[in-house]
Chain A
């Protein structure tokens, strides 16, 4: 009978019961634990924390488990929890120069103070399926070396010493940073808000945009000045105390992209920057973000805005995968009221077309 959706309430409950069953899968296989996810699917956890905008490995692991491994769904779960958390303020700027580095590479100097530290990376692995991993296997402890305690100044600082790269646009120590989770995005958007948007943005979307800029759609001549991954301390200025107190340590990946800049009549040529930062070890994300950040600075640097990656309204309005997936998938919702209205119009237009064609004469001016 007509409303097939009658009894929708019961159908929804059944669908959710079925989902729980599918999530668990074969009961004879052990249930996956959150520890297994945080330890062995750590990069998935990193991505979910980054795009979910919440640094909490355990909640991210729970979200991944609940989402059956669908990372965008997991990001969504984390976001809806985050949005209910009170916001006390913004932390002090992270001092990534004093990072406890696990990996640090520069593509623009063969060697540099502190050296190149490869750390745990897929780079240079041969992408051959490892049958050994299909079985339970003992993994040997990795080789270690004594910490040389060598300071690792950011490469961009070394360039800045010689005036070869633009200074970091100082946001003025006490300037408030924007927060697009508390204030709606408005255009033109300043760099703090743009970077926040990019940090939350879908990795795949940024990857494609960054890639497009490399292929000539808004070329920025990028060099990977430095990529570093490790732990940094987060500090928060406690008003009552009058000084910053440490809140804890988080793992982040930072990418400083070095880009060309021609200079102008009243400015000597020097390099410009693109910046990327992501929670955990998320190099693809941090690099893509840095490429897009630089491309979006076109307006500020007086470049022609011709490509999608340079168009801030295009990029910032479509970068959020929680928004995007919701709107794309809402097409699953019933639209029969609108469709019926369209159907009526198309039938009417077709009837008029047929009548006109049957009349043999030319169609009368439709604007009459």
Chain B
């Protein structure tokens, strides 16, 4: 039996080269989905294999990696991916946004502003923003080629007609550099404005769907909307029960079975930094038991 031996950051160099070529093409055509020969990874499809392949292809020995899932460094899948790279690449990992050179994320963009020295790698489940309007890949590729995005505007209009609001709350479609309509991955639309004119390179990897796309630094990213129904961010109308932030995206946590609830920052690093700076916020929020942190 041949005993498996793995390369730095798991992927072989040939594969990394192929992925880097796809990344370069993606950067050259902002928002365009570049097909790539996605590999089977040692974690299941749908669990971040696209992001992991992109990260594996851009990591160098001096990089410092941060991995978040739902904004948190401590969710199980974030822990698993961080350990994977610590093991296969032997690189330094961190939970501090400011310290990281590469940040792999699922469903959030950190609250702390990113710098030009950083790369943000998104895990993407369904890269095609038109997929739920048109299930066929052959057709959606044609629509992108012709910039035929009327169907998306009709969908948003129908939302307004039916609900009075655009009923898309996450994976809210954006137009990149005035050309391609792009799925920002299932981040809450609260995060959309952070993508615009961002100093950091943003890379998107969809492993199962075999697509890579990118937003180069300082690129215009506009959330689709209408003049009379402008794009709106959404956050719970509350303050973080731990750090008192009124700016950050909040998770609602149910604290008992009698309707008790509290709101806390989704971005755990941001929340911890604020508490370290200002001290924890004393609050009577809900009936949360905060004895065993």
Contacts and interface: CB of A to CB of B under 8 A. Distances in A.
Contacts of A140: none
Given A84-B12, A187-B138, A345-B165, A337 B170 contact: yes
**List of 8 A-B pairs having minimum Cβ-Cβ separation, nearest first:** A326-B45, A330-B46, A326-B44, A341-B169, A327-B46, A184-B35, A366-B164, A184-B210
A153 interface: no
Interface in B37-71: 37-42, 44-47, 49, 69-71
Given A62-B1, A323-B45, A12 B79 contact: yes
B288 interface: yes
Interface string A302-343: 000000000001000100001101111110011111101111
B36 interface: yes
Interface of B: 1-2, 4, 6-7, 10-12, 14, 35-42, 44-47, 49, 69-72, 74-80, 83, 106-108, 125, 136-138, 160-165, 167, 169-171, 186-190, 208, 210, 234-236, 241-242, 249-253, 262, 264, 266, 268, 288-293
Contacts of B163: 349, 366
A327 B241 CA distance: 34
A343 B252 contact: yes
Contacts of A216: none
B234 A5 contact: no
A337 B266 contact: yes
Contacts of A342: 169-170
Chain B contact residues, majority secondary structure: loop
A5 B137 contact: no
Contacts of A327: 45-46, 125, 208
A182 B4 contact: no
Nearest to A342: B169
Quick one: which of A81, A82, A340, A348 has the most chain B CB within 10 A?
Answer: A340
Nearest to B162: A366
A224 B251 CA distance: 59
A340 B252 contact: yes
B74 A6 contact: yes
A84 B188 contact: no
13 contacts: A8-B74, A323-B208, A325-B44, A327-B46, A327-B208, A333-B77, A334-B69, A334-B77, A337-B186, A338-B171, A340-B236, A344-B169, A367-B161
A345 B125 contact: no
Contacts of A79: 40
B147 to A, nearest CB: 21
Contacts of A182: 37
Main secondary structure of the interface of A (DSSP, over half): helix
Given A6-B293, A86-B12, 15 more contacts: A2-B241, A2-B242, A11-B76, A76-B44, A83-B40, A84-B11, A327-B46, A327-B208, A329-B46, A330-B125, A337-B170, A337-B249, A337-B251, A341-B188, A352-B164
Contact of A80 (B40, B74, B250, B266): B40
Q: Which of B44, B107, B138 has the most CB of A within 10 A?
A: B44
A8 B76 contact: yes
Contacts of B41: 80, 83
A267 B47 CA distance: 51
Nearest to A365: B161
A178 B10 CA distance: 25
A290 to B, nearest CB: 25
A362 interface: no
Interface in A278-297: none
B206 to A, nearest CB: 11
Interface string A170-205: 000000000001111111100000000000000000
